[in-house]
Structure 1
Amino acid sequence: MPTDPVCGMELTSDDAVATVQHGGKTYYFCSDGCRQRFEEQPTVYTK
């Protein structure tokens, strides 16, 4: 089950509001706000 890397919410792939490809991996997000924060500083959330 994917976890939003920004807020930690567990969600299914179908429930994700947005996705981002980074470093060859797909990240799933519960909201556009979390997606935007991730895109501004992806290295903060991919350590």
Structure 2
Amino acid sequence: MATDPVCEMEVDPDEAAAETEYQGETYYFCAPGCKDKFEENPEDYL
């Protein structure tokens, strides 16, 4: 399991609603909205 860095929800990488790469690491999200927030300012969530 992975943790959505925005809402901190547990996410199964195989079933994640969205994913993105940042600085060589893949992040998984429960919803596209969380991915959008992360991509606006990733450092806020890391």
TM-score between the two structures when normalised by the length of structure 1: 0.91
Q: 1:30 is matched by which residue type in structure 2?
A: C
| Unmatched 5+ stretches in structure 2 | none
Aligned-partner SS, 2:36: helix
Q: Are 2:23 and 1:27 equivalent residues in the alignment?
A: no
Structure 1 CA distance for aligned equivalents of residues 15 and 7 of structure 2: 15
Cα RMSD for the two superposed structures:
0.7
Bigger helix fraction: 2
Q: Runs of 4+ in structure 1 displaced over 2 angstroms?
A: none
* Counterpart mapping for 1:1-47 below 5 A: 1-46=1-46
CA apart distance, 1:15: 1.9
Bigger strand fraction: 2
| Unmatched 5+ stretches in structure 1 | none
Structure 1 CA distance for aligned equivalents of residues 11 and 30 of structure 2: 7
